Structures are given as C-alpha cells and as structure tokens.
Structure 1
Amino acid sequence: QFIGLLDVDGILLQANETSLKFAGVQESSVVGLPFWETVWMQHSSTLQEKIRAAVKEAAKGRFVRFEIDHYATDGSLHYFDFSLKPMKDDAGKVVLLIPEGRDITERKQAEEEQARLATAIEQSAEAVFITDTHFIIRYANPALERMSGFDRNELIGRHIRILANENHNESPYTEMFDSLTQGSVWSGRLFYLKKSGTSYEAEVTASPVRDKMGTIINYVSIHRDITREVQLERELRQAHKMEAIGTLAGGIAHDFNNILSVIQGHTQLTNLKLPKSSPLQHSLNQVLVSCGRAKDLVSQILAFCRQSDHAKRPTQLLPLVSEVLQLLRSTLPATIEIRLDIKIPPEQSVILADPTQIHQVLMNLATNAAHSMGSQGGTLEVRLSKEKITSSRTPYQSDLLPGSYVLLSVSDTGHGMDRSTIERIFDPYFTTKGPGGGSGMGLAVTQGIVKGHLGAISVNSEPGMGTQFHVYFPETHEEVAPVPDNKEYLRTGRERILFVDDEEPLMEMGKEILETLGYRVTGSISSRKALEIFRDQPSAFDLVITDMTMPELSGTELATEMMAIQPHLPVILCTGYSELVDARQAQAMGIRQLIMKPWGISEMAAGIRRALEQSQLI
C-alpha cells in the first residue's frame, strides 16, 4: 500500500517507504513538488491532468477515487486503486490531503484474463456449455445456440439431456456422467438432437471444474459438430470401395462376357435351327433378352466406375415396367400383391433413355417398396400416365421445363416415413435398414439417373400410410427403333476365316456360328499357334477374328504380327472389356472392326461384311 501526505495545493509533504522503493527514489527528491509532477506521474500527461483535477476536488472536501497505472523500476506496469481523502480541522476546513494507492495488479490481470477467456468462449466456433454438479446448464455460448438451434435462455436451467438424442445408444452418456462425477476428463463422440429434431454427431471433451480446495463445482463441455466430417469419411470409404469395384469389374467383365457369349451364341444357333412355329421360340427369345440385359448391366457397371456418359435412345417405358414386374413376381413374397395401372398406350410412353438405367430405377423403387411392406405383405402398385407441366409447377417439379411428361408412380402400403426421413431419403449412404440391409445408395443413384434423364422424382409418405414415389420423364416423339428379328437380315458369305479365342467353348461356338453363315473357318485356342498357321499360309485366309485378352499374344499383338506379314489383312477384334482398347485405337492399328462381347449373330455377320468390303476398297 502506497500512502503519502499533501497540502491543500497538492504539494507532496511526505511519502511512505513502499512508494519510494517502488519508484526507486529518495524522499528528498520528491518532497516539495506538486504531486502530479512527481516521478509516479511523469509517464503520462493525461494522468498528470487527472491528478491535478483530483487535488482540486479533494481540496473542496470531496473524497476522490479512481484507478491509475504506474511503471516500476523494472519496467513492469502496475495498476493501483488510487484515492485522495481530505483531512479537516475542527472548524471543518480542509487542511491536508492523504493520497493512497493499493496495488491491484494481480486482481486486474485476473479480471482481464477472465474477460479474454469469456470473449474467447463467446466467440469460439466450438460449442461450450457449463453445468453445475447436477448437470443443469448454467452457461451456453453462441456456438451452442447456432449448433443446437436452441436459444440460450431455453438451455440455461435445463438438464443437458435436453440436447441428448435418446434414439441412439445410451451408454456413451452414462459413461460420460460416471467419468465426470468421479473427477475424470471424458472424451468421445455423442449424438445430439437439434431443436428442429435433426440429429447431429459431435466430438466431445468434458471436464470437471474445481475450486481452490479441489472440490468439483462445475462441469465444462466442449463439442464440435462432426456430422459433415463423418459423412465425408464415409464417402471417402465408399469412394475407395467404388475404386475397388471398378478394378474388380474390369477384371470380371471379360470372363463374364465370355460366359454370356457361350449362352447367347448357342441360344441363337438353336433359334436359327428351329421353325418359327416352335413353342421353344418364346423361351429362347427370353434367354436372349436376358443376355442382352446382362450385357448392358456389365457395360453400365463399367461406365459407372469410369463415370462415363450413358447412351440414350427412344425407349418405350411400358415394356420395361412389364419386364421388371414379371421379374419381381417370381421373387417377392406371395403376401405382396402387384398391380399395374396403365393410363396411356405404349406408343405414348416413349422417353429418351438408357433402358438399363431405367430398368435400375424401376428395380430400386419396387424393391424399396417391397422392403417397406416386409413379411406382413401389402400392395405394390405401378402406374403409368402422362402429365402436362406448365409454368405453375409444384416445388418438386421446379427443375422441369414446361412440356409433356411420362409419369411413373410406384406406391406401397408399407410403414411409411416421417418428415425427417423424407428429407434425407435421397442422401447418399442414408438407409433405414439395419447393418447388412443395404448401402443407402439405391435412391441416391435413382435420383441421379432421373436427373440425368432431365426428369424429377418426388416422394409422399406418412408413418403408417405407405409411400408414393412419382418420377417424371420428358416425353419424346422420336421413333423407337424396331427390334431386329434374330432369323432375318443375316448377311452370309463364303470367305475363309481364321477364328482365335483362348476359351475353347467360345472358339467352338464361334466356329459353328460362322460355318452356319456359310464361311469356311479354321479355329484356334492358341494365339501363338494361330500366328504359326497364318505365317505358313497367309493367302489361305480372307479375314481374321481374334479375342483381345489371351495368355500368349494379346489380340492387338497378334493382329500387328499378322498385318506385318499381310498389310491389308482385315481383322476383327472381339473384347469383353474395352478399357485397354477402343474403336479409335483399334482403327489406328489397322483393325477394321471392334466388336464387344457377347456379340450377336446379326452383329457379327454385319461386322464381317463391313470388314471385307473395307479391304476391297484399299
């Protein structure tokens, strides 16, 4: 404590030892000076004026008090609670003034530190709340208000369970409460519930707060919303899965298409040999349709993994719907009734589409509907109609241009969905199914396909009232290409062909098909052996048909070797996976035709004639 003595004019008469030592001066060097001109006040002209004014006030008999700062001899800044007290004689006249200064530096620094901390917590991006020992919220920062949607006044005085999401596992909350009451810090992840009812995941650190005696007086919790971060982690894992699927798809595409080639080829051969009146024709045609669908599915998987565009063509929606429902009837429980409600003729259900993708949309919606009804059964209804979209559109139609649309509606009598589920139903990886029940990608992919077809999809549902999906596809007036007759328009010939494929069933089948078309065929399951045959008699062959992926020489290597012997040799390259070579690359190598497996008889017949005709032009 600093203390001194002034006369009524502010002249210093006396100063105690503490104040002199603080300034590093002798009493003789300051006594007799106006108090505001002493060493304690020289660092600030503003302070000097303030002290001069305070002396005048105190001389009038008033007690004056305020905070001032001084620099010690070591250069450190100190804060003082300064006062001037007037001393009066018996007549009430002011005769002396007593200046007094109490060092409040530590208190001031503590207050400033507290203010800094309070400001930091108030402005923190992470949510902070403080509770008492009964977990009643006593403080909540603005970040918690933003994160939770609750106003601070709605939180203070409430148990922290106001934020807890009771739909998730209770044990992390119990674990946190137990750790805190035992005086330990707890860290982990918790699911909280916003005021809106939306769940979010947070990374939490909760700590006990103790007084000077070590008694727990509060708990402080800091949490960070990691919902988006967790979502990105999940998407990254899914992206890695998709990358692995892409690699796997490329690996199996060749083998799978080889299997399809055998099935399709022998089916076509059988079909060719049967009379049109045969009752087996219908069954064989169904096999060929399924082979085509399987081929398209492999192409779609490969295209999806490469994120490439899908070719669209005028397609009637009604036959696709009928095909999907026919497939579903054999797989769904008998307790589910399937209804088809057609409001338009087939020729008015034409859209510009990739049939395989539309097939996928129908399967996704139908299987979702079946899943929502479960074992108790119900009704699955698919409806086709038309709708005219005008400028006055509903919110879910806002992305649609005015015009005529084919409307596909899929409804069920299942358990339905609440509003929060509907809001997330098209989110990638969101699923209401249990572990192993689904990836949560079905409806996200469905929405992506629909948007890719310039359409829109909406959902209506209530708990216990079933669900209705409505899908809009722009109608097109382009003409649908006719389905080719497997027995007609087959171009034949008498040329000599060397047919090479390392899969013996494929080689035998290809040889038989080509011979059926009238060609003279030499077959080989060894690319090295085929090269030897050709090298011995290059003029014995008018055309070479070779597989791409083979163990000794690849198709392109074999073609290059043969064309080095006979430069204008027409070569057809067959592949079940086009990642290694495309039509442009094949053409640059001198290969006349690139045909994807499984190939159809008419496709191969036409390809052979084109390759031979091109060679005649050279």
Structure 2
Amino acid sequence: MNKIKTLIYTLTTPRHLTPRDGIHFWQEKVLLNLLLVSVVLGFITWVPSVALSIREKLWIVAVADTLFFCIILGLFLKPDISYTFRAMSISVISYCLGMILILTLGPFGAGPVWLFFVPILTGVLLGSRSASWALVINGVTIAGIGILIQLNLTDLLSQFNVKAWHLSTHNSGEKWVVICLNFMLLNILATLSVTTILNGLHSSLQNLAISDKKHRQIFENILDVYFETTLDGIILEVSPSVNQVSGYSQKELKGQSLDTIYHLSDKRKKIVERLIATGHIHDHEICLPHKGGQIQTFSVNAKLIRDETKNQERIIGILRDITDQKAMVKKEKDLEERLNRSRKMEALGLLAGGVAHDLNNVLSGIVTYPELLLMDLPKESPMADSLGIIQSSGLRAAKIVQDLLTLSRRGVITRKVVDLNEIVEQFLRTPEYEKILSFHPHVSVETNLSAGFPFLKGSAVHLQKTIMNLISNAAEAQPDGGTIRISTANRHLDKPVRGYERVHPGDYVVLSVKDLGTGIDPEDINRIFEPFFTKKVMGRSGTGLGMAVVWGTVQDHNAYIDVVSQKDSGTRFDLYFPATNDKIESPPDGTHREALMGNKEMILIVDDVAGQRQIAKSLLERLGYQAVSVASGEAAIQYLESNQADLLLLDMIMDPGIDGLETFRRIRQFKPDQKAIIASGFSQSDQVQKTLALGAGQYIKKPYTIEKIGLAVQKELARV
C-alpha cells in the first residue's frame, strides 16, 4: 500500500516546481491529479460508452471518446509539454465531451454536467480570466441549444444517426449507466480539483504562518534595528529593538518623520540621493541623539526598494549601535598612542640621560673653576664680573642638563614632604616668575590655594620648575593679555583620570593652571609632552623641553595629569599628586663657607676622568681636606689595601674597568666600615640605589660646587 501511495505521489508531483513557487505548483499538481484520475477512471467510463455508441451506431461518439482518451493518456505520459497547452487541452476536451453528450443524449443527461465542469476546471488550471471566457462559451452554447429546441431543429440530427431526444428511451439502462459514470467522473474530478487547491492553500498558509512566526520572532528579538521608510523620511516600520538603542518606542516612531530622531535633514537628503544613485549604502556612520539626550553613533546599511514597474518605492535597512565599539576602538587607539609615546619618551630619556652625564662632566670645570678663582680674587678685580658670568652660564647650562635628567626619569634626587601651596607662593616670588611677566606685561595671575591639606612627597625644585613651565605656557597662549588662574585643592580619586586606565584610589593634592588663551590644536594635544615639540617663541621660552619636564616630573612623583583644552577657549592642566600624612622636616640653617671647612681628613677620589679628579681635589683641598685621586675602581682597591682613607668620593660610571657599585662592594669586603659618598653625572639610578643600600651615605650630582661637596662630606664624616 505504501508503495502505491509513493508511486501516486511521484506521478502527481511537479518535477520542476516546489511549494515555494506558490499557486503555480498547486495548479500543476491539480493538472497531474486530473490526468491520472482521467486515465484510470476514464478508461472504466470509456469501455461502456464506446460499446453503447457502437450498438447504437453513434460512430462520432465512439471515435470522439477514443480520441479524447488517447489525448489525455498522451498528456499524462508527456509531462514535458507546456503546462498551458495541457491545461487548455483538458478544458477543450471537457467542453467537447459535454456537447457530444448533449447532442446525443439530450439536455437532461451528462452533457450539461460536463459543461458545468468546464469553467470550474478552467478556473482552477488557468485562472479567473480563462474561467470567464469558459462561462461565456457555456452561455453561448446553452443559448444555441435553446434556439434548436425552440425552432424544432433537433430532427436535423437524425441524419447523423442521432435520435430525437424524446425518443431516446431506447437502451435506457445502458444510457443510465453511462450517465452515472460520467456524473461520478465529473464529481470526482471537480472534488479533487477543489480539495487539492484547498489542501495546498492550507499547507501554504501553515508554512506561511510558520515562516511569519519565525520572521516575527527575528523581527521582535533582533538586536539591531530594522526599519522601512518612504523616500521623504516617513517611518513605515521599525523593530522593537529601537527602544533599547534610542529610548523611543515603536508606537512613538511609526508613521512619524525621521526628523523626530535625526535632526540633520541635509545629511539625510544626501544619504537618500546616494541611495537613489547607487541603490544601497554600506556601513555609513551617523550620530543620533538618545531620547535621554546623549549622542550615540550608529552604522547604517540600507537598500532602495523598487516596485514591479521599477519605480522607487521605499527604503529598508538595518541600524546598528556602534557607540561602544567606537569607544573601544578609540580606547585601543589611545592605548597604542600612549604605548608609543612611552616608548618614544623612554628612548629619548635614555639618549637625554647619556648626553646629560657627559655634559655634567664638561660643565664641572665651567662651574667649579670660576668659583675657585673668585675665592682668590679681590671683589674689585676686573676679572670678577667675567668669571661670574662664566659661572652663571655654567649653572644655567646645568639647569638645562637637569631638565634632560628629568626627561630621562632620573631627575628626582630626594623625596621630602613639601607644602604645594608654599611651593606655588615661593615661585611667585622668584626672578623666573618676574621674567615671564616681563615678556607678557598684559597677563595677570590669580591664585586660589584652597587645598586644606597640601602635603606631598617630592622634590620642591622639580615642582617649582613644573609650575614655571605651566605658567610660561599659559602666558604664551594669551599674546594679547589675559588671566592665568593657579589653584590647589584636595580631591579623593576612586575612578580613572582621563587618559589613564586606572589610578590608585586615595587622597590627592591637585594643582590646576588655567588660561583663557588660544587653546591647543586637537592634532597637537597628544604631542605637547614630546621633547623639543614647541610652538612658543624660541629664545624667550626655552628649549622645547618644558612640557617634557612637566611630564617627567609627574611620572617621577607617581602623579597623574589631565589636559582640557578648547580652541580659542583656553586650556587647563590638572596635576594629581598623592597626598601624604608625613610631617615636613625643618629646613637646615643657612650654611657659611667657614662652616664647611674640614680638619685634614683624608679623602680618596675615584674617577676615570682626569678633569673631574682635578676639580674635586682642588675643591676638597680648598675646604681643608687632604685629597688623593685614582683613575679606576681597581686602583682604589689597591690603594686601600695598604692605606687608609676617611672617606671615598666615588664616581658611579667608570670605563673601562669596574664601576662604582662593584668597587664599593669589593672594598666593603675588607673594610666593612668604609665611608663613601657617590658622585655621578646622572641622578639616582638603580646603581646609585644599590650602592646606597650597601652603606654609602650621601649622593651628589655633578657638576660640583663648593657648598654641595662640602655639605655632603661633612654629613658623611659625621655619620656614626
């Protein structure tokens, strides 16, 4: 039984169509069903019909029945013949059979039933237009038969061996069988046609409902926003997800203009023009305001839809919220820029540190010898002024070197508890501050030092230099005059400062320097901390290291910096320094040169540069010490193996041979109580820290001065 069902299904299923083809599939299926049933049941009807026709010598009927059966069989066996031809053939055969039966058996037999069936069959197979023509033909046929009856012309049929209808009771039993068989055949065909269409329609509707449910679920749960609009911007459809990304509901937007959420009508017109020109847009970015007010970034993919006549009908598309994605990309870009900047600063710092070391060695002679010469010259000597100029020039050069050391992250020598309010006030009393104002006489400075707890650990020198650079920048940004506002405040941080991934939560002292000047160009704001990047007036404002020094100082103090700037509206620098609860140390009393004098203590100078050894030896001997110098760490070890020294003045970097750290380590092995002070053209490096940890007591930075070296030697000799 299953094999028979499978065979029937195969024979009545279109080969080149699927249910997705809609009505065409079901029309083809109805036609195949009709042909199969007509072949099977038609054969059963054909046998008695032909037999009866032969007995009554109705040769036309016998020939017609046979011909029609063969045609139907051929149409069934040749499914490759066009559908239209096969469908029209079925309708024509049905009509011809109806006419033959009417003419032979009268209007009360199976003929009218066949004619009744023709429009139904034609409508099912060929559509309503063809069915209308079939009805017209039926109407004409019925009218024609009526005319024959009215004019008593039915006797004319007798010449074709067709008896008059009123005499057609001959062989009534056989005729009844033929009539019944035809009726049942037509009944089955009509029922099969209608039920096939209805079943197909039901199946299609079920599939449509399933598909609609699936698409409705997608439509209602899609994360992106699906939309349809007219060309003039009226919203026809929008998915519920619009509420999540915009704050507006479907009800608020459907039927409304896009201007409700997209206020830039000119840009919208350009998008529509582009759509009309190309038919689609991909990944076009637009900014839309959320109902709550914040601006969000969206990516639009849209397509222009045309109707059957190729006229522009509507626009459909997808709107995707990429605000977070853009923020993430910007964040990654910022991180990459910061990493590159850090690498660049590190590389420049290494370069600057090396240059600073060599320059400090060179500057030692320029700074120290004029001081020694001035000690021997009377104040009225004509050479005094020249030597003073040489020395002050050397000290200024030493300050530039100090900037390089700050840039190299080796600039903070000591960390003491300082009062930021006091540091600001002290700077405002310095010659450097007066010099800045002299270049900018129309600039005024206002202070609001409201930090109630302004204490931090750091270097007062570097903090003052940072304040100087920030004020200088602010003055330069206001060439026509203006106001610089300097303020301090206390703030607790528990969220990252702009430009930083994270900060250490805690209390901070904030230094703010604000101007109302020209602002910083957006393309320059990420470069302002680069060494030698400057747009200020060279010769007045320095070497281009100012902001690099600020950056280095901030890093050395474990602080954070935030820059807020708008074109022509000014700039504000906020520096966040970690606050401390430690107490401020009392400042030392003023030092006089007589108080620095020694008592013939022996000091061993260890330095690989002959000029540095000579400078140190001259300074120490002038201060009343005995001094011996050697050129290497190995020579120092050899000297101390057979001699005594109250103190070592030990250079950290010596080449070739062992460095200061290794020298002191070896000396400590056989002289564990040996005292030492460290000298270097660098500031506190790792080597310095390790040497101090071994027991060295003081660190001084080249170039030497009498006060600097005298204080360090005195303090170390006095240490127990």
Cα deviation for residue 164 of structure 1 reads 5.9
Match of 1:321 in 2: 428
2:336 pairs, out of 229, 233, 237, with 237
Cα deviation for residue 107 of structure 1 reads 0.9
Question: In structure 1, how many angstroms separate the alpha carbons of the residues matched to 2:589 and 2:284?
Answer: 61
Q: Which amino acid aligns with 2:615?
A: M
TM-score by length of 2: 0.49
Question: In structure 2, how many angstroms separate the alpha carbons of the residues matched to 1:352 and 1:312?
Answer: 6
SS at match of 2:600: coil
Q: Which amino acid aligns with 1:256?
A: A
8 A contact 1:499–1:544 mirrored in 2: yes
8 A contact 1:410–1:468 mirrored in 2: yes
1:363 and 2:458 aligned: no
Question: In structure 2, how many angstroms separate the alpha carbons of the residues matched to 1:432 and 1:139?
Answer: 46
Q: Which amino acid aligns with 1:234?
A: K
Distance 1:504 1:309, change over 3 A: closer
Match of 1:544 in 2: 648
Question: In structure 1, how many angstroms separate the alpha carbons of the residues matched to 2:464 and 2:591?
Answer: 24
Q: Which amino acid aligns with 2:521?
A: K
1:183 pairs, out of 274, 279, 287, with 279
Please list, as runs of the form range in 1=range in 2, the aligned pairs for 1:416-431 lying within 5 A after superposition.
none
Q: Which amino acid aligns with 1:514?
A: L
Distance 1:109 1:410, change over 3 A: same
Cα deviation for residue 186 of structure 1 reads 1.9
SS at match of 1:302: coil
Distance 1:173 1:328, change over 3 A: farther
Question: In structure 2, how many angstroms separate the alpha carbons of the residues matched to 1:536 and 1:133?
Answer: 96
1:270 pairs, out of 355, 361, 370, with 370
Distance 1:211 1:286, change over 3 A: same
Match of 1:222 in 2: 320
Please list, as runs of the form range in 1=range in 2, the aligned pairs for 1:278-427 lying within 5 A after superposition.
288=395, 291=398, 295=402, 298-299=405-406, 302=409, 311-314=416-419, 315-323=422-430, 325-329=433-437, 337-340=442-445, 352-353=455-456, 354=458, 355=460, 356-357=462-463, 359-361=465-467, 363-364=469-470, 367-368=473-474, 370-371=476-477, 373=478, 375=479, 377-381=480-484, 414=517
Question: In structure 2, how many angstroms separate the alpha carbons of the residues matched to 1:573 and 1:566?
Answer: 17
2:301 pairs, out of 206, 216, 219, with 206
Cα deviation for residue 132 of structure 1 reads 4.2
Distance 1:378 1:114, change over 3 A: same
Q: Which amino acid aligns with 2:353?
A: A
Question: In structure 1, how many angstroms separate the alpha carbons of the residues matched to 2:265 and 2:607?
Answer: 62
8 A contact 1:200–1:227 mirrored in 2: no
Question: In structure 2, how many angstroms separate the alpha carbons of the residues matched to 1:113 and 1:189?
Answer: 30
Question: In structure 2, how many angstroms separate the alpha carbons of the residues matched to 1:215 and 1:115?
Answer: 28
Structure 2 gap segments, 5+ residues each = 1-28, 34-194, 492-508, 530-546
Question: In structure 1, how many angstroms separate the alpha carbons of the residues matched to 2:327 and 2:706?
Answer: 52
TM-score by length of 1: 0.56
1:435 and 2:520 aligned: no
Distance 1:343 1:114, change over 3 A: closer
Q: Which amino acid aligns with 1:367?
A: N
Structure 1 gap segments, 5+ residues each = 1-16, 22-97, 390-405, 416-430
Match of 2:74 in 1: none
Question: In structure 2, how many angstroms separate the alpha carbons of the residues matched to 1:165 and 1:432?
Answer: 32
Q: 1:164-203, CA deviations, whole angstroms, 9 ceiling, x for partnerless residues?
A: 699xxx9x9969963784135523655666678866555x
CA RMSD, aligned part only?
Answer: 5.9
Q: 1:91-119, CA deviations, whole angstroms, 9 ceiling, x for partnerless residues?
A: xxxxxxx9x86222221122112212222
Question: In structure 2, how many angstroms separate the alpha carbons of the residues matched to 1:192 and 1:508?
Answer: 74
8 A contact 2:648–2:676 mirrored in 1: yes
Cα deviation for residue 212 of structure 1 reads 9.0
SS at match of 1:242: helix
Q: Which is greater in Rg?
A: 2
Distance 1:337 1:411, change over 3 A: farther
Question: In structure 2, how many angstroms separate the alpha carbons of the residues matched to 1:597 and 1:185?
Answer: 67
Question: In structure 1, how many angstroms separate the alpha carbons of the residues matched to 2:270 and 2:437?
Answer: 49
Q: 1:461-480, CA deviations, whole angstroms, 9 ceiling, x for partnerless residues?
A: 99988789999999x99687
Aligned residues: 462
Question: In structure 1, how many angstroms separate the alpha carbons of the residues matched to 2:272 and 2:613?
Answer: 68
Cα deviation for residue 500 of structure 1 reads 3.2
Match of 1:52 in 2: none
Question: In structure 1, how many angstroms separate the alpha carbons of the residues matched to 2:401 and 2:567?
Answer: 37
SS at match of 1:581: helix
Q: Which amino acid aligns with 2:679?
A: C
8 A contact 1:137–1:160 mirrored in 2: no
More strand by share: 1
Q: Which amino acid aligns with 1:237?
A: E
Please list, as runs of the form range in 1=range in 2, the aligned pairs for 1:249-260 lying within 5 A after superposition.
249-250=349-350, 252-253=352-353, 255-260=355-360
Question: In structure 2, how many angstroms separate the alpha carbons of the residues matched to 1:150 and 1:273?
Answer: 84
Cα deviation for residue 313 of structure 1 reads 1.6
Question: In structure 1, how many angstroms separate the alpha carbons of the residues matched to 2:473 and 2:265?
Answer: 31
Cα deviation for residue 581 of structure 1 reads 3.2
Q: 1:388-437, CA deviations, whole angstroms, 9 ceiling, x for partnerless residues?
A: 99xxxxxxxxxxxxxxxx9999675647xxxxxxxxxxxxxxx8514235
Distance 1:340 1:115, change over 3 A: closer
Please list, as runs of the form range in 1=range in 2, the aligned pairs for 1:83-102 lying within 5 A after superposition.
102=202
More helix by share: 2
Match of 1:112 in 2: 213
Question: In structure 2, how many angstroms separate the alpha carbons of the residues matched to 1:293 and 1:319?
Answer: 21
Distance 1:387 1:310, change over 3 A: closer
SS at match of 1:380: strand
Question: In structure 2, how many angstroms separate the alpha carbons of the residues matched to 1:433 and 1:463?
Answer: 7
Distance 1:381 1:159, change over 3 A: closer
Question: In structure 1, how many angstroms separate the alpha carbons of the residues matched to 2:328 and 2:490?
Answer: 42
Question: In structure 1, how many angstroms separate the alpha carbons of the residues matched to 2:618 and 2:648?
Answer: 15
Match of 1:515 in 2: 621
Distance 1:480 1:537, change over 3 A: closer
